[in-house]
Amino acid sequence: MKNILVTGGAGFIGSNFVRRSLKLKKDWRIVVLDALTYAGNLENLNGLEDEYKDRYSFNKLDIKDKEGVFKLFERENFDGVINFAAESHVDRSILGPLIFVETNVLGTVNLLEASRKYFKDGEKRFLQISTDEVYGALGEDGSFTEETKVDPSSPYSASKTSADLFVLAYTRTYGLNVVITRCCNNYGPYQFPEKLIPFMIKRALDNEPLPVYGDGRNVRDWIYVDDHNDGTILAFEKGKIGEVYNLGARCEKRNIDLVKIIIEKLKNNLKDRKDFKEPQINFVKDRPGHDFRYSIDPSKAERELGFKAKVSFEEGIEKTIKWYIENEGWWRRIISGEYLEYVKKQYEDAK
Ligand code: NAD
Ligand code: DAU
């Protein structure tokens, strides 16, 4: 049995990862560490304690907590770490950058320090979940490869880039067995309704206008969360020490086109619901430093890890929209005072 630490396991991608890897990797025991910030939700992990009694445990802990993290490493004798924990929302990083430095940089370095102390044999792997945003913005042409120079635009992406540089420094300086993955925009169940797709679904279901930044021509590259997580397992098991792997599904969409697809899918799924009205699109003030286009070239991961995204956009977005319609209680429960305050601050000009 391999004992794996998964940080940020109560968030969107992390919770999908925990569920999927417990199902697919019968010889893995997963220890989740999560501080349960506004984005972490124990409900995302419901049922796992019963279903996987001996292979799953949860620890409420902050990755910055040196004593707590070192004690956990001492007690658990991990075979590896997969670090999903992060502050992850670009708009929040623009409103308040400091916590992004604290969690994404200091927190990651704290985990690296614990790994340096307890991972003596070089067999034990530290996998850093990074992002395509470290590469900055593309124009109309080209794609990010692992050779593209990092050039982050937002405090979020600057903090993720910093973390990547520390991770790489730990392999060069201390020989730590590290791998980094850089994935494009994920979508799927359990994504916090501040990110584009679930935010637009929530607004549409509440008969609120859909705020599209700028002229809506910015392009994002989309992958279904299970495909990202399958790539994560492959990178953890097969990645070469010190290497970076881009993960993506070659699925670029302009924001405005994606919002229109969401509206069409909602209309189709809700045709029998009299209270649902076609939402209005509002073009609102642009995000400062808004990266124009992302496009991931996943060839290296395909060639070296055998990675291949399997879920088509058509299938993934249909599943996702159905999930949010069927799980209205899930997202209603997390729309707390903090969420409403954030939305008010972020979208005050959009009203
Ligand atoms: P999320 O915001 O949904 O989840 C983050 C999780 O980390 C939450 O459970 C939160 O409680 C936890 N966390 C935050 N600060 C913590 C701390 N100090 N200590 C312990 N736990 C803490 O984020 P997500 O979208 O699931 O992203 C997960 C990772 O994947 C992040 O590292 C992000 O940068 C990366 N990523 C995300 C995407 C995307 O499209 N969402 C794409 C590529 C990479
Ligand atoms: O590319 C990977 C990154 O994708 C991850 O590293 C981040 O953690 C994740 O949040 C995501 O970042 P983005 O900024 O691309 O995602 P977001 O959902 O915030 O926005 C997607 C696009 O939609 C972006 O161009 C901004 C636009 N947008 C977003 C919101 C929330 C709008 O036009 N209106 C909105 O209300």
The token pair that represents 29 in the structure block: 């025991």
85 lines ligand 1 (CB under 6 A): yes
Looking at residue 188, the DSSP 8-state letter turns out to be S
pLDDT at 233: 99
253 lines ligand 1 (CB under 6 A): no
Distance 30 CA to ligand 2 centre (A): 29
For a pocket test of ligand 1, which of 18, 88, 99 has the largest count of ligand atoms closer than 8 A to its C-beta?
88
pLDDT at 205: 97
- Ligand 2, pocket residues at CB < 6 Å: 88-90, 131-133, 184-185, 195-196, 199, 211-213, 218, 220, 255, 287, 294
The half-sphere exposure of 143 on its side-chain side, counting CA atoms within 13 A, is 19
pLDDT at 350: 56
pLDDT at 349: 61
**Of the ligands numbered here, which is closest to the C-alpha atom of 108?**
1
Distance 269 CA to ligand 1 centre (A): 30
Q: What is the pLDDT of residues 113-156, one digit of tens each?
A: 999 999 987 899 999 999 999 999 999 999 999 999 999 999 99
Which single residue is written with the structure tokens 């409403």? Answer: 340
Domain range summary for the chain, segments of one domain joined by +: 2-188+221-253+290-312
190 lines ligand 1 (CB under 6 A): no
83 lines ligand 1 (CB under 6 A): no
Please give the Cα distance from 107 to 65 (Å, whole number). Answer: 8
Distance 49 CA to ligand 1 centre (A): 21
pLDDT at 337: 86
Helix, strand, coil percentages (3-state) for the chain, rounded to 5, are 45, 20, 35
The token pair that represents 305 in the structure block: 């890890």
* Residue of 135, 134, 139, 143 whose CA lies nearest to 86: 134
Edge to edge, the sheet with strand 28-34 lists 56-60, 28-34, 2-7, 80-83, 125-131, 177-183, 244-247
The residue ranges of the chain whose pLDDT is under 70 are: 349-351
293 lines ligand 1 (CB under 6 A): no
pLDDT at 348: 83
Q: Beta 219-224 vs 252-254: how paired, if at all? A: antiparallel
Q: C-alpha angle 70/76/77, rounded to 5°?
A: 90
The answer to whether 221 touches 295, Cβ cutoff 8 Å, is yes
Ligand 1 atom, smallest distance to 103 CA = 18
Q: Categorise residue 306: left if φ over 0, alpha if ψ from -120 to 50, beta otherwise.
A: left
For a pocket test of ligand 2, which of 185, 221, 282, 291 has the largest count of ligand atoms closer than 8 A to its C-beta?
185
**Of the ligands numbered here, which is closest to the C-alpha atom of 220?**
2
Distance 196 CA to ligand 2 centre (A): 6
Distance 195 CA to ligand 2 centre (A): 6
pLDDT at 169: 98
Angstrom distances, CA of residue 290 to CA of 43, 155, 200: 32, 12, 18
**Of the ligands numbered here, which is closest to the C-alpha atom of 160?**
1
**Of the ligands numbered here, which is closest to the C-alpha atom of 221?**
2
Ligand 2 atom, smallest distance to 195 CA = 18
192 lines ligand 1 (CB under 6 A): yes
pLDDT at 351: 47
Q: Categorise residue 258: left if φ over 0, alpha if ψ from -120 to 50, beta otherwise.
A: alpha
Distance 13 CA to ligand 1 centre (A): 7
Give domain 2-188+221-253+290-312's CATH architecture. Answer: 3-Layer(aba) Sandwich (3.40)
Question: Catalytic residue positions?
Answer: 132-133, 156
Distance 99 CA to ligand 1 centre (A): 13
